[in-house]
Amino acid sequence: MIKSTDIELLPKKVAIFPLTGAVLFPGTQLPLNIFEPRYVQMIDDALASPGRVIGMIQPSKPGEKTLKKVGCLGRISTFNEAEDSRYLVTLSGTIRFEVTEELNTTTPYRQIIPDYKQYEPDLKPQKVESIDRSKLLALVKKYLEIRKIMADWEIIKETPTEQLINYSGILVPFTAEEKQLLLESKTIITRSHVLEALYQSYIFDSPGEKSDQLH
């Protein structure tokens, strides 16, 4: 378990899994189906290492080799090896990073040098007291109604505020750019503001709906 005082113990180089539309936030979990041989080897190598970590990051654009500047370190918390050589893994988000440099490697998967420094607060409990939870829940509910998305509202209501915000970035079908905007938000407070704006924009753009109904 990485503690807030352990930033110097974080890996100095990280294998990355570039995937458009998939983001990981600190304190969240992301299930992945790994089937490409190069990424199967990446998981093999990660499982053989002490930290069992990889980096999740989005390409700059779908199909492009260049990467977004910010990703998230994830620890392989569970894994199952399927009979057809696939891995079903769960990544647990630890801390965000900026890509400092991509390495020339002999591995079939890509590796980077990460910079964690400005995201060190990710390793500490986030302060959410100033977030208007009732407004956020109203936006979530309206969005689900408009998009006709089935969800267990009782579970959503009981979800802690930080997880409600971060899992919105993972589970809600926002665009890849919108997900990245949430990931790059400096604090949970700024992320909540970005998330509210995204929900408002989808609600406002829906035929017959007005965003001021939520104020």
Per-residue pLDDT reduced to its tens digit, 126-184: 999 999 999 999 999 999 999 999 999 999 999 999 999 999 999 999 999 999 999 99
pTM exceeds cut of 0.75: yes
Please indicate, yes or no, whether residues 81 and 40 belong to a single structural domain of this protein. Answer: yes
Looking at the structure, tell me whether residues 29 and 92 fall in a common domain.
yes
Asked if residue 128 belongs to a domain, the reply is no
Q: List the structure tokens of 194.
A: 């970005």
Residue 1 lies in a domain: no
CA angle, 62 as apex, 78 and 112 as ends, to 5°?
Answer: 55
- Mean per-residue pLDDT of the chain: 93
Share of the chain above pLDDT 70, in %: 93
**DSSP letter at 103?**
P
Closest CA to 198 of 171, 170, 179: 179
Q: Are 165 and 197 in contact (CB under 8 A)?
A: no
Residue 61 CA to its chain's centroid (Å): 17
Provide the domain limits for residue 207. 133-214
Confidence label for 67 from pLDDT (cuts 50, 70 and 90): very high
- The identity of residue 182, as a single letter, is L
**Are 13 and 112 found together in one domain?**
yes
Q: Which of 64, 91, 123 is the last residue of a domain?
A: 123
Examine the pLDDT at 210 and tell me if it is beyond 50: no
Count: domains in the chain: 2
Same domain membership, residue 112 and residue 33: yes
Q: Could you give the 3-state DSSP secondary structure of residue 19?
A: coil
The string of pLDDT tens digits covering residues 41-63 is 999 999 999 999 999 999 998 88
Question: What pLDDT was estimated at residue 206?
Answer: 67
CA 204, CA 36: separation in Å to the nearest integer? Answer: 40
Alpha carbons 27 and 191: distance in angstroms, whole number: 14
| Six token digits for residue 179 | 């997900």
Let me know whether 162 and 189 are in one domain. yes
Q: Quote the pLDDT of residue 4.
A: 43
Residues whose CB falls within 8 Å of the CB of residue 119, separated by 6 or more in sequence, listed in order: 95, 96, 97, 98
**Residue 107's pLDDT is what?**
97
Residue-level pLDDT at 208: 54
In this structure, of 34-38, 78-82, 171-175, 207-211, the range with the lowest mean pLDDT score is 207-211
Least trusted range by pLDDT, from 24-38, 98-112, 199-213: 199-213
Evaluate whether 46 touches 85 at the Cβ level (below 8 Å). Answer: no
**Same domain for 101 and 157?**
no
If one counts every other C-beta atom within 10 angstroms of the C-beta of residue 75, the result is 17
Q: What is the pLDDT of residue 83?
A: 84
Residue 209 has pLDDT above 80, yes or no: no
Question: Which of 123, 154, 184 is the last residue in one of the domains?
Answer: 123
Please, what sign has the CA dihedral across residues 119, 124, 129, 132? positive
